[in-house]
Structure 1
């Protein structure tokens, strides 16, 4: 009658257990690598979606009578308007989308933007939105529709193309 394992049986079981642990560790390491890659992609998508939401709310809640679109070049526009959307807790702020040295900025102020380039007395909070190749805003030809087409092409090859109807059509 045998009551214990032999040394050979213990060595074989330890070797098998070691092989299983090596494969489990390798799988765990690869899982961590793929999670980092997915986290970067999800962060990039979240940033683009937040930017789309901000642009959509700015344009859909703007006051159409306050809109001023200045065509700077074939690839850049300057956009001024008053909106009821604020990301800096202001009531009915004036906003501007400006491209400066291929960088897109969103400016928000309690005072109306009257000229471009902005004067020294301008007071605003600026938000950097990204490096862009193209920033264009087109207003619908139909004066009653108050629709805008916003085209942004980022240097990272992401593109935003939004058709937005202003809800404040008064």
Structure 2
């Protein structure tokens, strides 16, 4: 009579290893799918963060605009889908005090220029000193001003590869 088994048989070991291998295969597939989902989610989050950053910059530029009697914002319609916008704001990305901020479209790319001197025309002079921020490639960039006594602006930007922006802005420094 046998007293008891002290070890697994070879068949029991093969069955256990087979079951473990099948479980690992499914776990690896699940892990791979999770990594793909995380990569897609990361791309979408970065797109949303970029759009939110652009909205924040535009919002702060216009809401912190400095009032002057002739109007706070100079809007010049360059083409059907492009505006040239100049304003003085207390918002600065480059540590300037009350800079002039210009939004300009060149070769379908929207730029934000920040300078201590006001740009008078669309053509930039060679002696102008400014910092440039690239906003993105656009189909159209338009700024609309309300005709009412209160100054508010509607910023409409259609991007080629990002979500469009439609933003209503009311200046805080209004008199």
Normalised TM-score (structure 1): 0.96
Aligned twin of 1:166: 171
Matches of 2:163 and 2:50 in 1, distance apart?
A: 11
Taking only aligned residues, the RMSD between alpha carbons, in angstroms, comes to: 1.0
Partner of 1:149: 154
Q: Matches of 2:173 and 2:127 in 1, distance apart?
A: 30
Q: Which residue of 2 aligns with 1:71?
A: 77
Preserved contact between residue 64 and residue 146 of structure 1 (Cα < 8 Å) = no
Q: Distance in 2 between matches of 1:154 and 1:67?
A: 23
Tell me whether 1:134 sits opposite 2:140 in the alignment. yes
Structure 1's unaligned 5+ residue stretches are none
Corresponding residue SS for 2:79:
coil
CA deviation profile, 1:95-153 (whole Å, cap 9, x unmatched):
000000100000001111122212222110000000000100011101x3110010000
Cα distance, 1:157 vs structure 2: 5.1
Query: Structure 2: which 5+ runs fail to align?
Result: none
Instruction: Indicate the residue corresponding to 1:111 in structure 2.
Output: 117
CA distance in 2: counterparts of 1:90 and 1:4, whole angstroms: 79
Q: State which of 56, 59, 64 in structure 2 corresponds to 1:61.
A: 64
Q: Could you tell me the TM-score, scaled by structure 2's length? A: 0.93
